[in-house]
Structure 1
Amino acid sequence: MTNEFVLDAIKREFPDSVIAAAEPYGMLTLEVKKDDVKKVIHHLRDSSLGFNFLTDVCGIHYPDDAEKELGVIYHLQNMEANIRIRLKAFTQKEGAEFDTLTDLFAGANWMERETFDFYGIKFKGHPDLRVILNMEDLGYHPMLKEYRLEDGTREDKDDTMFGR
């Protein structure tokens, strides 16, 4: 099984869903429409393509792009053929919500909770969407690129030593 074969199979089944495709470091990477990402993942799992292992779910923040400010990245693997695929889907920051994958992959539960905790992305249909690593009363999502790296009031740090 090759990346080209997988890409052709997805484009044949979902001709309007794939926005962009690339192969950084040999891994097939697709940008998929937000509303179609769960359908594509469901097809990857249940079809003969056999991507039945969800390796990772994580968030990403691009503050300079208002239309694609927040995104979710999914990594899946076909263990038999030893091939991986990365799917990306983006949305605006306001009302950022994706469909949960917990009904397809039990392991998505904690990965989606972590993504919610750090980026504030909600997963519609998640059975227990609440913070998992941060304190419940933290009040913000620390991985968003809208916070300073260091505490500006500290005098014991010299950031010039770290290239800043």
Structure 2
Amino acid sequence: MEIITRVQQLLSVEFGNQAIAVVEESGLQPALVIHRGKLAEVCLFLRDHEETYFDFLSCISAVDNGVADGSFSVVYHLASIPHQHQLTIKVTVDNDRRLDNLPVVPTVTGVWRTADWHEREAFDLMGVYFEGHPDLRRILLPEDWEGYPLRKDYQEAETYHGIAIK
């Protein structure tokens, strides 16, 4: 049985229909889109369940789904080293793109310590706020940088503290 099918079954038994919002089967990697409010619980379950044991968070990526779509996605690539299987899960957040109203996703730093750095990078470059993160601050750009450079509507500044950027 394919791992994504088995994970669907396990999550349905554990959480009913409250965990999985959508199953994406198109593209190179199928993914489970998880309801934002259940993300941390689902991740903890997937890490600790003896059948899945996703002990390694390979990557977190933030995706700007476009100005017209009005949403952002956060993609989590999970791996189980002992079981040698992988899983992609996602959370999608509708957002009005205002800089004073960032898209909010719960942190998973309590599940995988490596999420600390991945979430900080997604915050810094895309402006996704990870609620509950122990030290959410910029990691690549200066603290006073305005905007989030990987957003599709980002306007590059011409200067930074009087120094030409372009």
TM-score with structure 1 setting the length: 0.81
Aligned match for 1:107, one of 110, 114, 117: 114
* 8 Å contact kept, 2:147–2:154: no
CA distance in 2: counterparts of 1:120 and 1:148, whole angstroms: 14
CA RMSD of aligned residues (A): 1.9
Q: Which blocks of at least 5 consecutive residues in structure 1 are unaligned?
A: 152-164
CA distance in 1: counterparts of 2:8 and 2:30, whole angstroms: 8
SS in structure 1 of the partner of residue 88 of structure 2? strand
SS in structure 2 of the partner of residue 15 of structure 1? helix
CA distance in 1: counterparts of 2:20 and 2:110, whole angstroms: 23
Deviation at residue 148 of structure 1 after TM alignment: 5.9
* 8 Å contact kept, 2:76–2:88: yes
Deviation at residue 15 of structure 1 after TM alignment: 2.3
Amino acid at match of 1:64: A
Percent identity for Structure 1 against Structure 2: 29
Q: Does 1:138 align with 2:151?
A: no
CA distance in 1: counterparts of 2:54 and 2:2, whole angstroms: 13
Deviation at residue 14 of structure 1 after TM alignment: 2.1
Name whichever of 29-38 and 92-101 sits farther off. Answer: 92-101
Which position in structure 2 is the counterpart of 1:128? 135
Write out aligned runs for 1:81-92 (5 A): 81-92=83-94
Query: Structure 1 residues 122 and 148 mapped into 2: Cα distance closer, same or farther (>3 Å)?
Result: closer
CA distance in 1: counterparts of 2:30 and 2:54, whole angstroms: 13
Name whichever of 133-142 and 86-95 sits farther off. Answer: 86-95
TM-score with structure 2 setting the length: 0.80
Q: Which blocks of at least 5 consecutive residues in structure 2 are unaligned?
A: 96-100, 159-166
* 8 Å contact kept, 1:28–1:84: no
CA distance in 2: counterparts of 1:59 and 1:44, whole angstroms: 21
Which position in structure 1 is the counterpart of 2:68? 64
Deviation at residue 50 of structure 1 after TM alignment: 0.6
SS in structure 1 of the partner of residue 37 of structure 2? helix
Which position in structure 2 is the counterpart of 1:54? 57
Amino acid at match of 1:85: L
Which position in structure 2 is the counterpart of 1:79? 81
